[in-house]
Amino acid sequence: MTVLDAAAQSPVREEATPASPPTVDFDTAPDRYRHWRLDIEGPVATATLAVDPAGSLVPGYELKMNSYDLGVDIELYDLVQRLRFEHPQVKAVVMTGGLERMFCAGANIRMLAQSSHAWKVNFCKFTNETRNGIEDATENSGQTWIAALNGTAAGGGYELALACDQIVLIDDGSSTVSLPEVPLLGVLPGTGGLTRVVDKRHVRKDRADLFATKAEGYRGATSVEWGLVDATAPRATFAEEVGRRTSAAAEASGRPADAQGIALTPLQREVTDDGLRYPYVSATIDRGSRRVDITVEGPGDQPPRDAAGVADLGVDYWPLAVTRALDDLILRLRTNEPDLGTWVLRTAGDTEQVLAYDRQLHDLADGWLVNEIRHYYKRTLKRLDVTSRSLIALVEPGSCFAGLLLELALAADRQYMLEGVFEEVDPDAAPAAVVLTASNDGAFPMGNGISRLQSRFWGHDDLLEAARAALGRPLDAAQSLSTGLVTLSLDDIDYEDELRVVLEERASLSPDALSGMEANHRFVGPETVETKIFGRLTAWQNWIFNRPNASGPEGALRRYGSGQRASFDVGRV
């Protein structure tokens, strides 16, 4: 019997239909965790996965054998964030399991079988983003993650380990690592497993093929030889091996030993039937048009004098406050409002004040806190990049699309800019302008490893250099258009009618076709592990999830654990 068999519940009835998804709240804190325990001792933190079987986010399944659902991963995401912001003294993180001989059995099969396609896709997307955040912490925050596999790691459990910098597997004669999704479930290891095995851990492709089709996986010397794990150790010396690696990682870290963290206090958020409101960020929902209008406000005052002032402000420091609000808003809209297919992005505020904060983020980038804020904003923009929604940016009088906020417009699929002013509304207003800074030229790279500016002008180095020549200079509508930073500039007479046609047309097109088109357009240029996970792997997994071989009445997900083998259509497509 495999680990996944042991984790299975009673047979799934073939007539079962996907459960209605709940409204998901991404708020949590360590004192509210049901599935993770965080212990900190000096420079080392230990994150222990001990899933509450009765703590499922949605009724209808039990989280046996440390299997997980979205609720488990929401806690993990919160844990990763708190380690980075609240515990700067932590230099190494050990991820381990709280059950005997079991690290994690992976994503809960019953949850996947009963979930709608959209729920499965969003679940995989969020878990991938969380794994990427773990890797980002190792690479950019000096917090090296080490997986201490105290037992078997199957499927998504092994994918959790793959996100860590090092993997140590206990050598107890039975514990294995495996990716059994293909042979047992008829789907893929959707949290980046296939990609990380060959691209990150450099497992030879024939061995990777053997591994991904052997449901029981590998243990001991073979797993080390093939590169599936870094080391194995018997139970008697397992803790010693993990401790040795943890100490070495902590010694190599540049994290400050004496810095004071900042508390990630609960977000201030007002939710109504037609929108959400945070400090500096608001969203207004138009359900009839299947659209949400998002406005990001600039700061109300100048930045603090120095890094100490940034720390004193904590979560109220404008760039961090905006990032936290955007992060939460994207997650809530993406998960709870799938019918809102078009997001219209605006900004409002004083451009000079935005630029002052933009300069400060650059000038104080070597400090641990500002470094964390910059990388958090980078990750939030990446979350926007992979959100399956049409993004339209509007640059109007009163906008402050400059530096870090201009990244929002560059992330959009189209940008429309008003020439002049709205004559009947405010004829004395200053015309809109955009300002490129160094922030737009590499400070916040996309998943493809290059800036949104480089992506915009991919294959046109002359246009890229022309845009770089305009860094720091306000560009009006005509200049923005000639520089290639906006799609169209329109005068007051045509602006409203043109936007109405654009938004109505967008709402009339197939959401599926739009998602595929936008994802292909957004990620030009180099392919990375990240673009493979969110592009190639996700595209195949989305298709497979919809196929009867996986999700049909006789498919592998539905029949798993029932004692009946899946019935496959054997034709290759």
Vertex 205 angle, CA 200 and 207, to 5°: 100
3-state secondary structure of 417: strand
| Residue 285 host element (H or E) | strand 281-286
Q: Let me know: does 112 contact 162? Beta carbons within 8 Å.
A: no
Q: Which of 62, 159, 297, 419 is catalytic?
A: 159
The set of residues, in sequence order, having a beta carbon less than 8 Å from that of 233 and lying 6+ positions away, is 168, 170, 171, 240, 241, 242
Q: Is 220 left (phi over 0), alpha (psi -120 to 50) or beta?
A: left
- Give CA separation, 84 vs 91, 221, 260, in Å: 10, 34, 12
Q: Which of 75, 181, 297, 518 is catalytic?
A: 181
Q: Determine the Cα–Cα distance for residues 546 and 529; give it in Å rounded to an integer.
A: 24
177, two tokens: 């690592």
Q: Which of 320, 238, 330 is nearest to 279 (CA)?
A: 320
Q: Determine the Cα–Cα distance for residues 239 and 236; give it in Å rounded to an integer.
A: 8
Q: Let me know: does 159 contact 191? Beta carbons within 8 Å.
A: yes
Q: Determine the Cα–Cα distance for residues 236 and 303; give it in Å rounded to an integer.
A: 54
Q: Alpha helix (H) ranges present in 364-509?
A: 368-385, 406-411, 452-456, 461-469, 477-483, 492-508
Is residue 159 part of the annotated active site? The answer reads yes
- Give CA separation, 300 vs 212, 316, 352, 356, 563, in Å: 54, 12, 11, 12, 63
Is residue 181 part of the annotated active site? The answer reads yes
3-state secondary structure of 28: coil
Vertex 59 angle, CA 534 and 189, to 5°: 25
Task: Work out the number of other CB atoms within 10 angstroms of the CB of residue 15.
Answer: 7
Q: Determine the Cα–Cα distance for residues 46 and 52; give it in Å rounded to an integer.
A: 18
- Give CA separation, 263 vs 35, 86, 310, 325, in Å: 21, 6, 13, 15
Q: Determine the Cα–Cα distance for residues 232 and 148; give it in Å rounded to an integer.
A: 10
| Residue 178 host element (H or E) | strand 177-178
Q: Determine the Cα–Cα distance for residues 535 and 527; give it in Å rounded to an integer.
A: 9
Vertex 140 angle, CA 240 and 89, to 5°: 55
Amino acid of residue 414: R
| Residue 96 host element (H or E) | strand 92-97
The set of residues, in sequence order, having a beta carbon less than 8 Å from that of 510 and lying 6+ positions away, is none
Residues noted as catalytic: 159, 181
